[in-house]
Amino acid sequence: MESVHRTVLLNEAIDGLNLSPKSLVIDATFGGGGHSLEMCKRYSGIKIIALDQDKSAFGKAEGKFKDLNCDITFVNENFRQLDHLENFGAFALEDIRTGNPRRLNFLNGPVDAIIFDLGLSSDQLENSGRGFSFLKDEPLLMTMKENPTEEDVTAMDVVNTWSEKSLADIIYGYGEEKYSRKIAKGIVEARQKMKIETTFNLVKIIEDAVPNLYKRGRIPKKLHCATRTFQAIRIAVNDELGALNDGLEKGFKILKNGGRMSVISFHSLEDRIVKRFFREKVEKGIAKLINKKVILASDEEIRNNPRSRSAKLRILEKI
């Protein structure tokens, strides 16, 4: 069953890019395709390079673009490889079903705009089968790759092999979970009895490790007690913060002078990285802020899409 994904801060992120029908844009986090689709509708003839680690995202969105006059090319790669896109196989709409990649034939100069939407799509969370959601009993993978190899780190590797200190550090550092030590201790004790293989295995361990009031979701802000731990492990598995640092730096390098970058973040660690990166570029005199104050979702958008409550949009122009 396909879930309905609502793109957060859709208009604000695109409006801030100052696009035209001749623009070359990189959608660094294609996901459900919301930003790319809106750009195609607004700017006939626009060229878009869409990146996603999950190749299945392209096939799911293929039908949305068939009747639109835009040149969209898909690259199955992480945005931390923005400086090497020409080395990867690219897929036009007609290539998706056949699985025959072609060369990326129009990345031959600086790009006009880049957009990063750092949130997971609803479809990835609910229907990937890779254990992103604690609401479904699935294998503990949490990797963005559709078909991980034996060399790829998975959540199963993390919870079954990492030391108690490492687990506590990432759960606290990436999830800002105040019961990180209790949860890490519970994971280590549980795996001594049986390998932790599914999301429900992990949820039960977390529930047993935290106080009852916390487990019932009354504090903080009615979050499920597994929310922060799942977020932390997912970030660690995919090295999301390292990838973000790389993607921002490499993306800025391939922007033309006057080109813009929109970044939508969803938790404080991401926003801190983006804010620091933008400030450093401004202080060096090589960029300027388009929005001096962070852009937040409107009350109406939050009512229609509660997940937009935590979204923060920042826009930078290279000078």
pLDDT of residue 1: 43
pLDDT of residue 132: 92
Amino acid letter for position 259: G
pLDDT of residue 108: 58
Query: Which of 80-89, 171-180, 187-196 bottoms out in mean pLDDT, i.e. has the lowest?
Result: 80-89
The percentage of the chain sitting over the pLDDT mark of 90, rounded to a whole number, equals 67
Q: Residue 49 is inside which H or E element, if any?
A: strand 47-51
Rounded-to-integer distance, Cα 186 and Cα 211, Å: 13
- pLDDT bracket for residue 107 (50, 70, 90): low
Taken as a whole, the chain contains a residue count of 319
Whether residue 284 is predicted with pLDDT greater than 80 in this model: the reply is: yes
In this structure, the number of other CB atoms found within 10 A of the CB of residue 131 comes to: 26
Domains annotated on the chain, with CATH: 10-122+240-318 (3.40.50.150), 128-238 (1.10.150.170)
Q: Which residue, among 188, 144, 141, 186, has the nearest Cα to 163 in the 3D structure?
A: 188
- pLDDT bracket for residue 99 (50, 70, 90): confident
Whether residue 294 is predicted with pLDDT greater than 50 in this model: the reply is: yes
The DSSP secondary structure of 81-147, one letter per residue, reads: GGGGGGGS-EE-HHHHTTT--B---S--S-EEEEEEE-SPPHHHHHHSSSS--TTS--BS---SSSS
Q: Which residue, among 12, 2, 1, 4, has the nearest Cα to 297 in the 3D structure?
A: 12
Instruction: Write out the two tokens for 277.
Output: 């990166």
Give residue-wise pLDDT tens across range 139-148. 999 998 877 8
How high does pLDDT run on average in the chain? 90
Rounded-to-integer distance, Cα 138 and Cα 66, Å: 33
Whether residue 92 is predicted with pLDDT greater than 80 in this model: the reply is: no
Q: Which residue, among 40, 70, 72, has the nearest Cα to 58 in the 3D structure?
A: 72
Highest mean pLDDT: which range of 55-69, 93-107, 187-201, 220-234: 187-201
Give residue-wise pLDDT tens across range 197-214. 999 999 999 999 999 988
Query: Which of 18-22, 27-31, 52-56 bottoms out in mean pLDDT, i.e. has the lowest?
Result: 52-56
**DSSP code of 198?**
B
**Mean pLDDT for the stretch of residues 97-118:** 78
**DSSP code of 5?**
P
**Mean pLDDT for the stretch of residues 188-202:** 98
State phi, psi for 146 to the nearest 5 degrees. -65, -40
**Mean pLDDT for the stretch of residues 84-103:** 75
Whether residue 128 is predicted with pLDDT greater than 90 in this model: the reply is: no
Cα 250–Cα 255–Cα 259 angle in degrees, nearest 5? 140
Tell me the torsion sign for CA atoms 136, 137, 138, 143.
positive
**Residue 81 burial class via C-beta count within 10 angstroms: exposed 0-12, middle 13-18, buried 19 and up:** middle
- pLDDT bracket for residue 5 (50, 70, 90): low
Task: Answer yes or no: are the C-beta atoms of 175 and 232 closer than 8 Å.
Answer: yes
Whether residue 104 is predicted with pLDDT greater than 70 in this model: the reply is: no
pLDDT of residue 218: 54
Q: Which residue, among 84, 143, 105, 117, has the nearest Cα to 244 in the 3D structure?
A: 117
